[in-house]
Chains A and B, each alone.
Chain A
Amino acid sequence: MRLLLSIAITLLRAKLKQSVIAAVGVTFSITMFVTLLGFMNGLNGLLDGLILNRTPHVRLYNELKVSPEQPIQRGWDEDTTDGAEVAHHFIRSVKPKDELPRLRNATAIMRALENDPRVLAVSPRLVAQVFFNVGTVDLNAQVSGVDVMQEVRYYQFRDYLVEGDPQDLVAGQNTVVLGKGLADLMGAGVGENVQVTTATGDRSLLRVVGIYQSGLADLDKVQCFANIKTVQKLLVRPSSYYTDINVKLKDILLAPAIAKEFQARFKVDALDIQSANAQFETGSDVRNIISYAVGVVLLIVAGFGIYNILNMMIYEKLDAIAILKATGFSGSDVRRIFLLLSMVIGLTGGLAGLIFGFAMQNVVDNIPFITAALPTITTFPVDYNPKYYIIAVTFALLTTWIAGWFPARKASQVDPVEIIRGK
């Protein structure tokens, strides 16, 4: 095999210019492939992160809903146990109970979740609808009471905080982080006080300790964060009062199954991330398909180049093939020589492509990309995942192998007698 490889390399070196051109074709397509995939997936990560980073994998909550069974039905059913016809009733006017949107038994649920081996993090939330009073105007907003350190750790809270420090939210009572849009609307900056009215009419004064920017303008106009204790106090509720429990799982793909399980087990509503954000998955998939398609097309074009050059080389090397066969190299030896030749082109071209691809990724990574919607992003995002490099090299070898296979087979079938006698 080493002998065949050395013959292949010698033949390549004799046709250095053509070989380099063939390799450059591979290099170019691999470079594009790696750059494109890195960039596309960087972008995917960024866009997904925009929502997914901050979204719990499973959210447990208690939805306000109509009683599934109207009380009158119960009465009727009981009366007709003797087999008489079930009467039809028209009364279905019982409205939802005036019950609190709290999670019942939240502390016990949280304890159970924390002991679940599939769960990475559990964080409670208390969401309150409030009005901020600005002069004579009341601005509608939503204050989420959160466990600040959990949010920082598992939901990248700090990344979206354009001003202020999450620590201030942990330490201080009656502190709040305002959404950027809301803060601009109120003209409120860090350190100032804002007045807030709850849905039940209780008024409090909160001190602004930070500004939050999610990148979604509509959200930033209504979303505020506070310590969970602050919100409990705001609503005048006990310290076990939570409206949501957010769960981050170790494996995001299990979310739909686990959400169903929790729903049955804890008798609450559960929403998994896949159902909540199906459109993001679709977007990522489409972008992935596009970049793979472009990369593969480029490789196929490079493959045709290799095919052509090898075919030409075989016509030029008929003498050499004949003499190799006459001196004891078999048809499969000759096939291997030309396959190796093709693979050498693919491998060198592919490796050069990886290096150039990495360089190109760096270039893209340094192109400034400043947008108001994404406060933490200053340049184009690039995903340097080695997975794409491995896929690229595999594809390069596969295409060159296929491109080399047909000419190599032709070479192996060359009849030496015909060549030698034909002279």
Chain B
Amino acid sequence: MKSTENILEVRDVSKSFHDPVTVQVLKKVSLEVKRGEFVSITGKSGCGKSTLLYILSTMDTDYEGDVIIDGEPTRGLSGERLARIRNEKIGFVFQFHYLLPEFSVLKNVMLPGLKLGKHSAEEVEHRAMQRLRDLDMHDHALKSANQLSGGQKQRVAIARSLINDPLIIMGDEPTGNLDSKNSGIVFDIFKSISAHHEQSLLVVTHDNDFAARTDRIIEMDDGKVIG
């Protein structure tokens, strides 16, 4: 299983936006994330950190350079294959909850697991309940997603990102929309994930306190990694 120590490798990734004028937002960025490592990316707004994250997430395929996830270069892979990689190896937590309001909390957590199809529906449900219990959200499992508070929604989103035991969890300002108490809770959850489950975390944040407590900080400025 452990084919390489580096879960994520980025080599010379550049990206430009062309509308309305050509602006290079990423300039030959290289970095790697090791198994179980908790890494944060910080930088001023507009420095390209979110853009980098979405390239790493495989959702944005319009870039130069190479992104290697779990030893597999993602350049040129089909949309189906990339979706599969996202489903199986990457978990996402966004700044805004991004739960599907039509579904119950439990179903929201289950969806990526059902899509993966590795376990039966009962098994996926059981696993989802377990994740919710880990995050102390199991009492709300059958509620609709929009009956929850912001902090609760974010915890459910984290549970969802964990359902398929991904190699890496990516977060785009996961605490950006939360008060300091809830931010603290989310951070502790992340910390324990990386400590107990050997899952890597890559979190984009502009919250310096949050970043300071992670294993490693990657600081970006003007499309370049500066430290």
Q: Decide: B98 and A328 in contact? CB cutoff 8 A.
A: no
A17 in contact (CB, < 8 A): no
In the bound complex, residues from chain A placing their C-beta under 8 Å from that of B80 are 330, 332
A417 touches which of B54, B95, B96 (Cβ 8 Å): B54
Known: A3-B114, A323-B100. A328 touches B59 (CB 8 A): no
B99's closest neighbor in chain A, by CB? Answer: A323
B14 in contact (CB, < 8 A): no
B83 touches which of A320, A322, A328, A421 (Cβ 8 Å): A328
Stretch at the interface among B84-92, B128-136, B192-200: B84-92
A332's closest neighbor in chain B, by CB? Answer: B80
B103 in contact (CB, < 8 A): yes
Write the A313-328 contact mask toward B (1 if CB under 8 angstroms, else 0).
0000001101111111
Q: Decide: B83 and A329 in contact? CB cutoff 8 A.
A: yes
In the bound complex, residues from chain A placing their C-beta under 8 Å from that of B99 are 323
A84 in contact (CB, < 8 A): no
A415 to B79, CA, bound (A): 12
**Which one of B60, B96, B100, B114 has the highest number of Cβ atoms from chain A below 10 Å of its Cβ?**
B100
Q: Decide: A320 and B57 in contact? CB cutoff 8 A.
A: no
A7's closest neighbor in chain B, by CB? Answer: B111
Known: A416-B59, A417-B54, A421-B54. A328 touches B96 (CB 8 A): no
Known: A320-B100, A320-B102, A420-B98. A326 touches B50 (CB 8 A): no
A:49-76 near B, CB below 8 Å: none
B102 touches which of A14, A322, A415, A417 (Cβ 8 Å): A14
B43 in contact (CB, < 8 A): no
Q: Decide: A330 and B79 in contact? CB cutoff 8 A.
A: yes
B82's closest neighbor in chain A, by CB? Answer: A330
A410 in contact (CB, < 8 A): no
Q: Decide: B60 and A326 in contact? CB cutoff 8 A.
A: no
A:244-270 near B, CB below 8 Å: none
B98 touches which of A7, A319, A415 (Cβ 8 Å): A319
B94 in contact (CB, < 8 A): yes
In the bound complex, residues from chain A placing their C-beta under 8 Å from that of B164 are 328
A:405-422 near B, CB below 8 Å: 415-417, 420-421
A147 to B181, CA, bound (A): 102
Q: Decide: B60 and A327 in contact? CB cutoff 8 A.
A: no
A12's closest neighbor in chain B, by CB? Answer: B102
A299 to B109, CA, bound (A): 39
- Whole-angstrom distance from the CB of B172 to the nearest CB of chain A? 7
Q: Decide: B83 and A330 in contact? CB cutoff 8 A.
A: yes
- Whole-angstrom distance from the CB of B158 to the nearest CB of chain A? 13
In the bound complex, residues from chain A placing their C-beta under 8 Å from that of B112 are 327-328
A93 to B60, CA, bound (A): 98
In the bound complex, residues from chain A placing their C-beta under 8 Å from that of B107 are 10
In the bound complex, residues from chain A placing their C-beta under 8 Å from that of B83 are 325, 328-331, 333
In the bound complex, residues from chain B placing their C-beta under 8 Å from that of A121 are none
A:379-423 near B, CB below 8 Å: 415-417, 420-421, 423
B161's closest neighbor in chain A, by CB? Answer: A327
B11 in contact (CB, < 8 A): no
A13 in contact (CB, < 8 A): yes
A327 touches which of B79, B96, B103, B160 (Cβ 8 Å): B160
A331 touches which of B79, B98, B100, B102 (Cβ 8 Å): B79
- Whole-angstrom distance from the CB of A77 to the nearest CB of chain B? 86
A326 touches which of B92, B101, B102, B117 (Cβ 8 Å): B92
Known: A327-B87, A327-B112. A421 touches B50 (CB 8 A): yes
B:203-223 near A, CB below 8 Å: none
B119 in contact (CB, < 8 A): no
A11 in contact (CB, < 8 A): yes
A72 to B4, CA, bound (A): 112
Q: Decide: A326 and B111 in contact? CB cutoff 8 A.
A: no
A60 to B60, CA, bound (A): 80
A375 to B91, CA, bound (A): 78
A416 to B83, CA, bound (A): 12
In the bound complex, residues from chain B placing their C-beta under 8 Å from that of A325 are 59, 83
A14 to B146, CA, bound (A): 13
- Whole-angstrom distance from the CB of B85 to the nearest CB of chain A? 8
Q: Decide: A326 and B115 in contact? CB cutoff 8 A.
A: no
A259 to B54, CA, bound (A): 78
Top 8 closest pairs, chain A to chain B, by CB = A328-B87, A330-B83, A14-B102, A327-B112, A323-B98, A328-B86, A417-B54, A3-B114
* Interchain residue pairs with CB less than 8 A apart (23): A7-B111, A10-B103, A11-B102, A14-B101, A323-B99, A324-B111, A326-B57, A326-B59, A327-B86, A327-B112, A327-B115, A328-B84, A328-B88, A328-B115, A330-B79, A333-B83, A416-B59, A417-B54, A417-B60, A420-B98, A420-B172, A423-B95, A423-B96
Interface contacts beyond A326-B94, A420-B172: sample of 8 additional A-B pairs, CB < 8 Å, sorted by A: A320-B100, A326-B98, A327-B112, A328-B86, A328-B87, A329-B115, A333-B115, A415-B59
